[in-house]
Structure 1
């Protein structure tokens, strides 16, 4: 946790209300997101108990598994979930009309055109993101009856397809700055600081209360209970409250089991409806809280670099759509060495670029970097024209600026500033001391002897120079999986212990 965030949390404690951490919204939010509020049975990671799902805040679809241990009921739940999610996702799979190049971390081919937009999923908390990933893993390897009639416990149609989409969304959520799958708690915690711990911030009701009503309301939302011992604000995680499980849910499920064992559909229906009402009573407050969070975040203006990151999400969405259309097999359980290395490099680049872009978009975030000595705000004091040596002298102006910050500078260090149009200008530190910094501009001035208009600061101009680069450097190219040795997971050569010894004359008597 940085010093600025710590200070913001301390101010929130004193004020009794959350403190803003950003002046802009750092993630893309769709005009029509699909909200998924899942609930799992206690004791099993991916055993669904119910869910509220939909893109209309006033008409969510309630899905319930009255007996989570019943495989048939769980498959019926997954089939209903696929019937709700897949039409929404597939409504975004049409080709777009732009031919912009894909982002470096998208995995798409340069000759493609991205979809005009991409489907976005919102869940209440970080645990909900992990649940989506686990749910996708549990479904994508299932065999449907039409694909393999001899498969034991065949999955309903389209369930494996939903698993592949959810797996992709869960994997994409691990890329810093990606917005295909977002959690409300992570979004709110990025833009507001509360007076509680980061673990407590995962309770959506308490976090939302800190922002809208204050600390007292947050305490009631986190721990307040009614006369029956039930939480006033149910937890927003897929897991449920033990008091709800033991006192309400378990007896209702037991009544459903007894009614179904009596082989009387008329008696089983009321018992199933009772379980559904209990599940909905826990899910509906969280559903409303997710949409209130959405409204709060949509009120913030988007950062300048948000559309560019969303373009990378669109390319990722398009690439996965094309893999499905090409009939490629499901994502493997474990990546080979080259794929894992590429994913790691991709996420490292995305994290470096996200940190830089958020600072460039947001004065509050840039203030944190200035306090750490990684940037400095300044006013241009003087400009002295100079040129490089060589057959074709190029402009290398010396710009002297005045700053009240204390950057960690040394002579010869590189500094960077943002130019209009998303370009970055580099400079070398030629001198530093007494609150004055002299930098020599290195690029961004055009190819002629006279610098392009606006590329050299004028006396009195204000700017922010950073010690960090605005774009991440790409690492060395990695070999293809078939070109790696078997010790690194190559699929082209079998391991020695799986290769039979060659037959010789000594093998025959």
Structure 2
């Protein structure tokens, strides 16, 4: 936890209401997201119990599994969910746009928009990831066949779960994480995972403080858990009798229909409060203006959606159960690069986020007191424009002479530290030499060089392009890491351990 967030949490506790830790919205919010509130049965590995799904507050559709241990009902639920999710995904594939590549010498195409899934909390993302893993390898023929849309749904859910791991991606969002990215509450990070308590701090009801609203939300009778876990008391007192009543009415169609209606109504009552909270969170987030670099990150989601759709259309196979050594290293490297870029972009977009870096000495804010926009450096083979400015700041300057700094106001311009001179009254004078972002002429275009009186932030953080790492090809990878074996194993070598299936044995017992 950063110093500023800790301070904001202390202020929230003192004021009785959550405090903003962002001035802009750092994630894309679709105009038509698909909200999905799942419930899973306790004691069963990722056994779906119910889900409330829809793209508008008044368009919720309830899906239930009266017998979660029954394999057929599980995959019937998956087919019903696919009947909602897949048409929603296809609705974003109607229009494409041309994107220039190779410096404009060629173009590629991507969809003009992409779908967005919203779940209440990170446990909801885990539910979708495991549910996708358990369905993407199923087959519509052979033993234990499933509906043809079930494996396709599993592949798409896996795609969204993988995008959720990508820093800055917004294809699949947990509402609690989206809200805590922009507000700090007076409770712990674990308590922030409870959506009713979190929204109680951010937007408390009239007459209640954030702490009072959060305490009220702890009562499962008033605020059922946001899923996918259910309240144990609800399981024992209400859910178990409803499941038993449905099972006992198997031979009586009238009694079975009544038991199903009661079961569905029971679960709708559990899901409806969270459904309302989800759309309340959407409203709070949409009220924030988007950051300048949010659209660029959403372009990455659109690219990923287009690429996966083309892979599916071309008959490509499902995602592997686990990555090979090289694929895992490439994936980790890509995520690390995305995380570094995401941190810089958030700081460039938001002064409150940049303030955290100012506290650590990675940035400072000062006023331009002198400027020489016409300075030319002729010590090299040819003269080049190298303006200099002097910035006076009251903040600590921990960067050394020769360091390269960047300003969010002119991100394509570099500022080399020439002198750092401590002055009177705690002020520090910093002389910077500018390069880049001014064209190739020996005269800087208007606005490219900071003017006297301009107040700027300079930081060591850079969002410059990071080249991809070099990784060996499969044929150059040692056999211990998935490549071709160098030689046949010795006769007395131990046999390799069997690979985990990851999605269960199709013949296993489910009840």
TM-score by length of 1: 0.90
CA deviation map 1:264-309 (0-9, x unaligned): 2222111111111111111010011000000000000000000000
Which residue of structure 1 lines up, in the alignment, with residue 247 of structure 2?
257
Correspondence 1:496 to 2:484: no
1:477 matched to 2:470? The reply is: yes
* Distance in 2 separating the partners of 1:73 and 1:30: 32
Matches within 5 A, 1:25-36: 25-36=25-36
Q: 1:311 to 1:278 in 2, by over 3 A?
A: same
Q: Deviations over 1:236-272 (max 9, x none)?
A: 1201000100110011111111111xx2222211111
The aligned counterpart of 2:200 is: 209
Distance 1:331 1:393 in 2: 55
Between the aligned partners of 1:136 and 1:114, the Cα distance in structure 2 is 25
**Aligned: 1:138 with 2:138:** no
SS in 1 for 2:461: coil
- Structure with the larger strand share: 2
With 199-208 and 265-274 compared, the bigger mean Cα shift is at 265-274
**Distance of 1:494 and 1:295 partners within structure 2:** 59
Structure 2 CA distance for partners of 1:140 and 1:383, relative to 1, 3 Å: same
Residues 341-391 of structure 1, C-alpha deviations (whole Å, 9 max, x = no match) = 111111111111111111111111111111221111111111232414212
| Cα pair distance change 1:498/1:137, threshold 3 Å | farther
Question: Could you tell me whether the CA contact under 8 Å between 1:416 and 1:470 is conserved in 2?
Answer: no
CA offset at residue 101 of structure 1? 4.8
2:351 corresponds to 1:363:
yes
1:332 maps to which of 320, 331, 338: 320
2:344 is paired with a residue whose SS is helix
Following the alignment from structure 2 to structure 1, what is the Cα–Cα distance between the partners of residues 216 and 51?
21
Quick check: 1:116 aligned with 2:112? yes
Do residues 459 (structure 1) and 452 (structure 2) align?
A: yes
The match for 1:350 is 338
Residues 1:440 and 2:433 are matched in the alignment? yes
CA-to-aligned-CA distance 1:171-220 (integer Å, 9 cap, x gap) = 01000000000011001100000000111001000100101113244333
- Residue 458 to residue 10, structure 1, CA distance change in 2 (3 Å): same
2 CA distance for matches of 1:36 and 1:111? 36
Query: Alpha-carbon deviation of 1:114?
Result: 1.1
Q: Distance in 1 between matches of 2:264 and 2:168?
A: 36
For the residues of structure 2 that align with 1:179 and 1:71, how far apart are their CA atoms?
Answer: 32
Structure 1: gaps of 5 or more residues: 103-109, 225-229, 502-509
In the alignment, structure 1 residue 318 sits paired with structure 2 residue 341: no
Please report how far the alpha carbon of residue 432 of structure 1 lies from its aligned counterpart in structure 2 after TM superposition: 1.0
Cα separation, partners in 2 of 1:396 and 1:310, compared to 1, 3 Å: same
Q: Does 1:414 align with 2:404?
A: yes
Shift of 1:419: 4.7
State the Cα distance separating 1:496 from its structure 2 match. Answer: 3.5
1: distance between equivalents of 2:268 and 2:486? Answer: 52
Which 4+ stretches in 1 moved above 4 angstroms?
492-495
Paired residue total: 479
Name the CA distance, whole Å, in 1 between partners of 2:308 and 2:476.
24
| Corresponding residue for residue 21 of structure 1 | 21
CA distance 1:221–1:347, change in 2 (3 Å): farther
Aligned residue among 189, 193, 198 for 1:198: 189
- Which secondary structure does the structure 1 equivalent of 2:109 belong to? coil
Residue 242 of structure 1 aligns with which residue? 232
Alignment of 1:371-386 (within 5 A): 371-384=359-372, 385-386=375-376
**Residues 1:133 and 1:20: Cα distance change in structure 2 (over 3 Å):** same
Which secondary structure does the structure 2 equivalent of 1:286 belong to?
helix
Distance 1:405 1:462 in 2: 13
CA distance change for structure 1 residues 376 and 255 in 2, over 3 Å: closer, same or farther? same
Deviation of 1:222 (Å): 3.1
**Equivalent residue number for residue 509 of structure 2:** none
Contact 1:377 1:463 in 2 (8 A): yes
RMSD, aligned α-carbons: 2.0
TM-score, normalisation: structure 2: 0.90
CA contact (8 A) 1:37 1:287 kept: yes
Other-structure match for 1:105:
none
User: Secondary structure, in 3 states, of the residue corresponding to 2:352?
Assistant: helix
Q: Residue 166 of structure 2: which of 175, 187, 196 is its match?
A: 175
Question: Is the contact made by 1:57 and 1:291 (CA closer than 8 Å) also made in structure 2?
Answer: yes
